[in-house]
Amino acid sequence: MPKPKNAMDIFQHLDQSNCRECGEKTCLAFAGAVFLGKKKLEDCPKLDAGVIEKLQTDSEDEKTVEDNRVEHLSRLKAEAASLDLAEAAERTGGRFDGRKLTLKILGKDFSVGVDGNLYADIHVNPWVAVPFLNYVIHGEGISPSGNWVSFRELKNGKERYPLFQKRCEESMKRIADGYTSFFDDMVHIFGGKETEKHFEADISVVLHPLPRVPLMICYQRPEDGMESVLTLYFDETADKNLDIGSIFTLGAGLTQMFEKLSQRHGVFETAAAG
C-alpha cells in the first residue's frame, strides 16, 4: 500500500458509511482531517487494524504528518534563504528592506528574512507559512486578470474539488448561515472588500490571502425553500502564482480561522445544530 498522497488515498480505505463515530460528519471529512494531521486513523472504529498499521508503516518510516510538515517547511525556508529577495519582492507584489521580504496577508505583514526565517504580525502557522513560501519561491508574479473561476477550473483543481467543496465551501456556508457578522468581520478584521455582486450572489467579498492571489467569497442567502449557496472563486491566474496544493491549504486555513472566530462568537454551534 503506497503512502497516502492526498485525502482521497485515505478515503478509499474507509467504510464510507458516514456513521459519524469518529466525530466527523462524513468519511471524506475524516480523511481530510487525517491527512492534515488533525485526526488519527485510529479515531475511526471501523477501520481494520491491519489497514491502519499498513498505512502508518508506509508513511515514510512511521513519520507523523506533523514531522513531514515541519521537514517540508524547513526545506522551503532553506530554499527561500538562497533566493534574491529583492527580485522576489518585485515579482510577488511585496517589499524588501535589505533584510526581509514582506507581503500583506489578509491585511497583515508577513515576512521572510534573508536567513529564511519567518516573521509575522499574525500567528505563524503552517496554513499560512507553506503557501506563503511557495508563492515567494515559485510564483510567476502574474497580475490578476479580474476573471474569476472556481477551484475546479484551476490547473489540477478538478480532482481535489470534492474535498475542497466539503472542507471549505460547505463549512464556510454553515458559518455564513448562522454568523450574522461573518461578512462584516471579513471586511474589518481581514482587510476584505465588498465588491459588486457576482454570479447572482447577495454578497461578494474579496480577500487577499496573498497579494496576487485574491479570493472572492460569494454568498446567496436561502430563499423560497432553497438552501443558501457559498462559492469561493479565484482569479484565473491563481495557478500561475501558486500550486494547487497551496491554494487548497489557503482555503482550508481560512475556513478553520473563520470557524474559530465564529465559535468565539458562540453562534456556530447554534447554526450547526439548527
Residues that bind ligand SF4 (CB under 6 A): 14-15, 17-22, 24, 27, 30, 44-46
Long-range CB pairs of 268-274 (<8 Å, 24+ gap) are 268/174, 268/175, 268/178, 268/179, 270/178, 271/174, 271/175, 271/177, 271/178, 271/179, 272/174, 272/178, 274/178
In whole angstroms, the minimum distance from the beta carbon of 178 to ligand SF4 comes to 23
In Å, how far are 10, 67, 127, 134 from 252, measured between CA atoms? Answer: 18, 20, 8, 16
12 or 156: CB nearest ligand SF4: 12
In whole angstroms, the minimum distance from the beta carbon of 270 to ligand SF4 comes to 23
51 or 187: CB nearest ligand SF4: 51
Distance of alpha carbon 197 from alpha carbon 199, whole angstroms: 7
15 or 236: CB nearest ligand SF4: 15
In whole angstroms, the minimum distance from the beta carbon of 7 to ligand SF4 comes to 11
Instruction: Identify residue 183 by its one-letter amino acid code.
Output: F
81 or 272: CB nearest ligand SF4: 272
Distance of alpha carbon 95 from alpha carbon 10, whole angstroms: 41
22 or 242: CB nearest ligand SF4: 22
In whole angstroms, the minimum distance from the beta carbon of 247 to ligand SF4 comes to 26
In whole angstroms, the minimum distance from the beta carbon of 162 to ligand SF4 comes to 15
Distance of alpha carbon 253 from alpha carbon 32, whole angstroms: 13
Do the Cβ atoms of 11 and 43 come closer than 8 Å? Answer: no
